[in-house]
Amino acid sequence: MGVPQAMAALRDKAALVRESLQKSQTITESMVSILGSFDHRLSSLETAMRPTQIRTHSIRRAHENIDKTLKAAEAILGRFDLTRKAEAKILRGPHEDLESYLEAIDQLRSNLQYFTTHKCFKRTSGVITHANNLLTKAISKLEDEFRNLLTNYSKVVEPDRLFDGLPDSLRPSATSPGKRNDSKKDSDNQKNSENAVYTPPTLIPPRVLPLLHNLAQQMVQAGHQQQLFRIYRDTRASVLEQSLRKLGVERLSKDDVQKMQWEVLEAKIGNWIHYMRIAVKLLFAGEKKICDQILAGIDSLRDQCYAEITANSVSVLLSFGEAIAKSKRSPEKLFVLLDMYEIMRELQSEIDYLFGTKSCTEMRESAQSLTKRLAQTAQETFGDFEEAVAKDATKTAVLDGTVHPLTSYVINYVKFLFDYKTTLEQLFQEFEESDTEAQLKTLTKRIMEALQTNLDGKSKQYKDPALTQLFLMNNMHYIVRSVRRSEAKDLLGDDWVQIHRRIVQQHANQYKRISWAKVLQCVTIQGAAPAGGGGILGGDSGSGISRAMVKDRFKNFNAQFEDLHMRQCQWNVPDSELRESLRLAVAEVLLPAYRSFHKRFGQVLPMAESGKNPCKYIKYKPEDLERMLSEFFEGKTCVEQKR
């Protein structure tokens, strides 16, 4: 085959391709026509089906609405059922089952809220009215139940139960709980015990507290806050006040205090200190605890309730302290004022906590004011004491020259003050920031100086100057010895003690000089010696002493010694060590002089008075004098001496 043949073959193939394309075009056109027909038919079908679709959708929506309505009806019927059940429980009252009663009120309140927000049927308003009336009755019964429950379980606390809540060291013994301990240091040890534990009494059983709390919450939700407030306040305030009265707390005015005998008043102050500790640490603390639990979550009502419950009791307690602080000042009140100041300081932190809310501001400030006033009165009384010591005008002198009552009173007062040293330093800081120890030292020295000045004045009442010196010696010795044995020594210092010991010695020396100088002159003759032989029996000798002079000396000695013995045996040196020291000092001067005189001149009289009794002149041997000196300063009466 050549080229022509190849071309013929390509033409044939091209013809076949053309034919195929024509057939494909024909088929495509046919398919387009068929599809167009389908589209037309589908449109017609859709048009025909649209009413059916609309009816189907409406039916579906109707079914949905029916379901919703059935569910709403079921919910409403359920609410009605719950309301009937709640009503049945409420009508039975809270006595049988309080918890179920509270649940019924909650359910009724929930139903009431439901019907209020679903006012979709005619009887809704009637249902709401009925539920409200029922709820009002329920809350009324709830108030009664709260009152009854609170009243039944609020019992007066017996004193013994309160004492059981105190630390062992502060519980009253067989003696009166208010009696002040004679040992202030023992009292301090009790109060300052680091391990002291106070246990407030159970005022309401713990199992009842949740019920009372739930009742209170229901009353608040019902808008009955004021009713709740009045019921709780009146019930608990009455019980608290009765508990304090049973303990012994009473309201006393300034006039009442002023009319009391000191012994009675002192006992009442001791009781008051005890009552304050019990009231604050036990009763008020217990009251706050139950108030916080019952009225938890109702803060403003809770704080106001607690404030009004305790207000009158706090007022009664603090008014007594105010009456004491404002009453007429006297030195013996200083220590009870310090005791009262101490207890207020001790309780200050508890008072600030218990009465720390705004509602309790007045009580908190009243307590702080009393503390300040007690401090001020105590400080003024301290100043009064110094002035009273300086101006003490007691005219009755101690006849035997012993320690004057003023001295022992002042020294015991000062010693007792040092048991309050810490308290005094706190008291000084109430008014000024300075060296409190220096202040105390200055005040103590001023009191001592006032005492010494007063004693100097009292010593001038004695007609016998020797007794004057003995009186001053006794009193100064008592002061020095007391200071040395007390904390005052650390404050006043060794120099003060040494200076005043020398003053004691000076008075002792003055006593010896005044009392014994003339007696010693009778048995002291410088260079004297007895004259020998009978030629000088009636006269003097230039080298000796006459018998007449010897007789006079013995006679005068006897008279003067007997006079001293008679008087000074009645004098008193109460300190045994000082008494023996003074006797020894006299003996060391008197006995050697008398022994020497007796030895040198005792033989003259028997020679001169032959046949006569020489004992008329020589009454005493040195041993007799020593024995008689041991009787000096015993404070014996004349009758005792004769015996």
Structure confidence by residue, pLDDT tens digits, 364-392: 999 999 999 999 999 899 888 888 888 88
Considering the segment(s) 547-630 as one domain, its CATH architecture is Up-down Bundle (1.20)
- C-alpha atoms less than 13 angstroms from C-alpha of 22 in its C-beta half-sphere: 6
Count the neighbouring beta carbons within 10 Å of the beta carbon of residue 106.
15
pLDDT higher for 339 or 524?
A: 339
Q: Considering Cα of 458, then 460, then 464, then 467, what sign does the dihedral take?
A: positive
Render 470-511 in DSSP notation, one character per residue. Answer: HHHHHHHHHHHHHHHTSTHHHHH-HHHHHHHHHHHHHHHHHH
DSSP state of 536: G
Q: Distances in Å between the alpha carbon of 366 and those of 252, 279, 558? A: 17, 16, 75
Evaluate whether 306 touches 291 at the Cβ level (below 8 Å).
yes
- Residue 600, token pair as written in the block: 């040198």
Give the separation between CA 342 and CA 613, rounded to whole angstroms. 77
| CATH 1.20.1280.170, the chain: domain bounds | 154-169+199-387, 547-630
CA angle at 98 for the pair 95 and 99, rounded to the nearest 5°:
160
Evaluate whether 512 touches 585 at the Cβ level (below 8 Å).
yes
Render 275-323 in DSSP notation, one character per residue. Answer: HHHHIIIIIIHHHHHHHHHHTTT-HHHHHHHHHHHHHHHHHHHHHHHHH
Of the candidates 316, 315, 298, the one whose C-alpha atom is nearest the C-alpha of residue 360 is 315
What pLDDT, on the 0 to 100 scale, is given for residue 308?
Answer: 96
Percent with pLDDT over 70 in the chain: 78
- Residue 567, token pair as written in the block: 């008087």
Would you say how long the chain is, in residues? 643
Q: What is the mean pLDDT of residues 63-73?
A: 66
Cα dihedral 186, 190, 195, 199 in deg (nearest 10): 160
- Residue 531, token pair as written in the block: 């004259």
Give the separation between CA 320 and CA 269, rounded to whole angstroms. 9
- Residue 585, token pair as written in the block: 């000092």
- Residue 78, token pair as written in the block: 């359920």
Count the neighbouring beta carbons within 10 Å of the beta carbon of residue 204.
21
Give the separation between CA 587 and CA 520, rounded to whole angstroms. 11
pLDDT band of 137, cuts 50, 70, 90: low
Bridge partners for 545 per DSSP: 530
Give the separation between CA 169 and CA 190, rounded to whole angstroms. 6
Give the separation between CA 363 and CA 309, rounded to whole angstroms. 12
- Residue 508, token pair as written in the block: 């002792």
Burial of 42 (0-12, 13-18, 19+ CB in 10 A): exposed
pLDDT higher for 394 or 363?
A: 363
Give the separation between CA 583 and CA 576, rounded to whole angstroms. 11
Q: Distances in Å between the alpha carbon of 33 and those of 22, 24, 38, 50, 538? A: 17, 14, 9, 26, 201
Q: Considering Cα of 286, then 287, then 293, then 296, what sign does the dihedral take?
A: negative
Q: Which amino acid is at 45?
A: L
Bridge partners for 572 per DSSP: 634
Percent with pLDDT over 90 in the chain: 44
CA angle at 14 for the pair 12 and 17, rounded to the nearest 5°:
115
DSSP state of 539: S
The mean of the pLDDT values for the chain is 82
pLDDT band of 318, cuts 50, 70, 90: very high
Distance of CA 368 to the CA centre of its chain: 12
pLDDT higher for 194 or 541?
A: 194
- Residue 23, token pair as written in the block: 């057939």
Evaluate whether 374 touches 321 at the Cβ level (below 8 Å).
yes
The string of pLDDT tens digits covering residues 553-597 is 888 999 999 999 999 999 999 999 999 999 999 999 999 999 988
Q: Which fold has domain 154-169+199-387?
A: Monooxygenase (1.20.1280)
What pLDDT, on the 0 to 100 scale, is given for residue 352?
Answer: 96
